[in-house]
Amino acid sequence: MTRAAVPPNKENLAAWLQYFDDLRIGDFYRDRGNVSGGAQAGPAPLAGENPELSELKAQMAKSKAATPSAPAGSYVGFPLNPNLVPESKAAPVAKFDIVSIGRDVSLFTELEKVKGDTLERIREDIGDCKRCRLCEERNKIVFGSGNAKAELVFVGEGPGRDEDLQGLPFVGRAGKLLTQMIEAMGLTRDKVYIANVVKCRPPQNRPPEKDEVATCIPFLLRQLEVIHPKVIVCLGNIAAQNLLGTVKSISSFRGQWFDFRGMQLMATYHPAYLLRNPPAKGDVWKDLQKVMAVLGLKLPKSAAKA
């Protein structure tokens, strides 16, 4: 029995075609050209292809060309919170919302999961990484450290000089302040987990560039999936922007709660920022008390008196 042809839903079809393009396997539905080696002006429609589908592909191509590229440092993916997405100045060309599939369907999240994944396996997969230019000047890869079953994970930007030498996250001046923050919450570093967006030190401690983040952040996402803490605290702009998919400054959403794949996420100022701006410590302490409330931690007597 042959299956009856069902007219495709344009919006769903457009979303799937865009999905295949993002995975760089979109060419499977295009004619691969003249096998004799002749010049080809562009992809030709498949024999017997529905004219509406050809028109739909043309609309997608125009839409993709008209979409502005994301600013440096922003996460290459689908925003988890539409309220943090800056409004585009350019009017959309297509009549359908392609990116909605990223918000409503777990396809992209599933692609980043590895069955039976562990922190040890992730570290083995990283190996002696040469995937981006950050490997050229690094001393040690800074994978992350702490409790693999932690309810609280801190995510920073990237290793600094001390971290690069020791291979451990947050061990310099900013790391010492983070340790004090953790202890003020009534915890110790071995009760939490600490990691960074990139695992190699950027030269001169510059912010990691867009391609460097895109190369390294899948390993962080796998770490977060394996640990699956109750709370993630992003320290500073780079961590917050790349996990939340926004280019807005952290000051506009600091201290707010967001859902991140079934985990609660909050962004606050980086300890390095607090070293330069001590008055901001009060804001961070307020944020950490919100985290403590979610984790069921009581305020230590010493902190309460302070």
pLDDT score, position 135:
97
Residue range 185-204, pLDDT digits in tens:
999 999 999 999 999 999 99
Strand ranges, E, within the chain: 145-146, 152-156, 193-196, 231-235, 257-260, 263-268
- Residue 132, pLDDT > 60, answer yes
Helix count and strand count (H, E) for the chain: 12, 6
The verdict on pTM exceeding 0.75 is no
Which has more pLDDT, 214 or 299? 214
pLDDT score, position 229:
98
202 residue type, one letter: P
pLDDT score, position 115:
85
Residue range 218-273, pLDDT digits in tens:
999 999 999 999 999 999 999 999 999 999 999 999 999 999 999 999 999 999 99
Residue range 154-193, pLDDT digits in tens:
999 999 999 999 999 999 999 999 999 999 999 999 999 9
- Residue 3, pLDDT > 60, answer no
164 residue type, one letter: D
- Of the listed ranges 8-17, 141-150, 291-300, the least confidently predicted one is 8-17
The arrangement of strands across the sheet holding 257-260 comes to: 145-146, 193-196, 152-156, 231-235, 263-268, 257-260
Do residues 201 and 138 lie in contact, with contact meaning Cβ atoms separated by under 8 Å?
yes
Which residue has 């110790």 as its token pair? Answer: 188
**134 vs 179: CA distance, rounded Å:** 27
Percent of the chain topping pLDDT 90: 60
pLDDT score, position 218:
96
Report how far Cα 218 is from the mean position of its chain's Cα atoms: 7
Supply the mean pLDDT for the chain: 78
Do residues 301 and 149 lie in contact, with contact meaning Cβ atoms separated by under 8 Å?
no
- Please report which confidence band the pLDDT of residue 299 belongs to, taking 50, 70 and 90 as the band edges: confident
Q: Where are the domains of the chain?
A: 10-33+44-85+94-110, 117-305
Helices (DSSP H) in 106-209: which residue ranges?
107-111, 119-126, 161-166, 173-184
Average pLDDT (33-60) is 51
**114 vs 27: CA distance, rounded Å:** 26
DSSP-assigned beta bridge partners for residue 153? 193, 232
DSSP-assigned beta bridge partners for residue 234? 155, 267
pLDDT score, position 61:
60
CATH node for 117-305 = 3.40.470.10
- Residue 96, pLDDT > 50, answer no
Residue range 60-85, pLDDT digits in tens:
566 555 544 444 444 444 444 556 65
pLDDT score, position 112:
59
